[in-house]
Amino acid sequence: MAQQTYNELNPAQKLIYTCSNIKRSHVDFDDSDIAGIYLRDNSCIVVRNDGVENIYQRDLIKIAYAENVNRLVNFFHNLGPNYSGPSLWIGDGQPETYVMLRGAHYWHQESKNTLVAKTQRKFIQDNELNSIKGTGPMVSFLENDHLPIGHLVKLCNNSCSCHSFQKQYRILDLFKEEISEAFEPGCIHLTWLKTYKRFLQQRAALINSIPNGIPKKCAAWWYAPPDVKHPRGYGKLIILYTDQGHLAKKKEWKTYMVNKDFNQYDLWQKLFKMVENGYVPFNGQTALPQIKL
């Protein structure tokens, strides 16, 4: 095996040409028995312990990397206690800077009792959002290695305090060289926050388009996280709709697609669809006290 002809991977390439990204781009990839991963021209070469080489397309792996880093994670992934969205923070004087908490309350049925969730509630209760000043102290607080509770996301300069973003940012030159000059660091939090803001804007535009501002066509959702024994499993999402306004009694609401099961991964698409179809979305748990599911 002429190993000396292979190029060593630089730090950016090591993040891109991983087993996970090769698998994402080449579904038949077998991630066992690997002696090394190398690059040659347009190929990514995986050498097995017995010396056999498998060749994969370098460009496809780059695309898989970027798609995965910027993927849209589920709606609950970045909500704080009581389904609260990210909070605008003015503690460093920059516009469009948000404190985004990890979705610790929605990991599973019992996760609201975890230390992360309790610390998040204390963070809000003690109003630490407004008492911590400066990016450094806020990032140290949120990204604490022992107890990370969230991230500082700056839409003003498209950045995030999370490890994924920071890793790309630190070696940006190598990423540009490997992927393209136009490459910009990204992460799941930036993608999520932009989607969340787009949803709120579209919802507000729909309400503004209703003559008296009081919507009749309304949809509402309720969510129960996965069972504690299957924290990576599906939660249960229920959607109701009515044309009698959001204060309508329970009997005036119909269940959306009653025979179909929905979960946390369906909510983004359903929220945008509600707005598209002229139904103003509500969080049933917080906005519709008259209905208990």
- Write out the residues near Zn ion by the rule CB under 5 A: 160, 162, 165, 187, 189
CB of 204 to Zn ion, least distance (A): 25
CB of 221 to Zn ion, least distance (A): 25
Number of other CB atoms surrounding residue 3 within 10 Å:
10
DSSP state of 150: E
CA-to-CA separations, 169 to 13, 20, 172, 184, in angstroms, rounded: 14, 21, 5, 8
How far, in Å, CA of 134 to CA of 280, rounded? 37
Nearer to Zn ion, 161 or 242 (CB): 161
CB of 184 to Zn ion, least distance (A): 13
Which amino acid is located at 98 in the chain? Y
Nearer to Zn ion, 198 or 254 (CB): 198
How far, in Å, CA of 46 to CA of 32, rounded? 11
Q: Which segments of 169-288 are extended strands (E)?
A: 218-224, 236-242, 254-255, 280-283
**Residue 223 pairs with which residues in a beta bridge?**
237
Nearer to Zn ion, 44 or 190 (CB): 190
CB of 114 to Zn ion, least distance (A): 21
Nearer to Zn ion, 62 or 189 (CB): 189
Query: Under a CB-based contact definition with an 8 Å cutoff, are residues 288 and 218 in contact?
Result: no
Nearer to Zn ion, 22 or 160 (CB): 160
CB of 186 to Zn ion, least distance (A): 8
CB of 160 to Zn ion, least distance (A): 3
DSSP string, 107-122: SSTTGGGSHHHHHHHH
CB of 82 to Zn ion, least distance (A): 23
How far, in Å, CA of 95 to CA of 24, rounded? 36
How far, in Å, CA of 190 to CA of 96, rounded? 12
Query: Under a CB-based contact definition with an 8 Å cutoff, are residues 186 and 73 in contact?
Result: no
Nearer to Zn ion, 97 or 242 (CB): 97
Query: Under a CB-based contact definition with an 8 Å cutoff, are residues 220 and 198 in contact?
Result: no
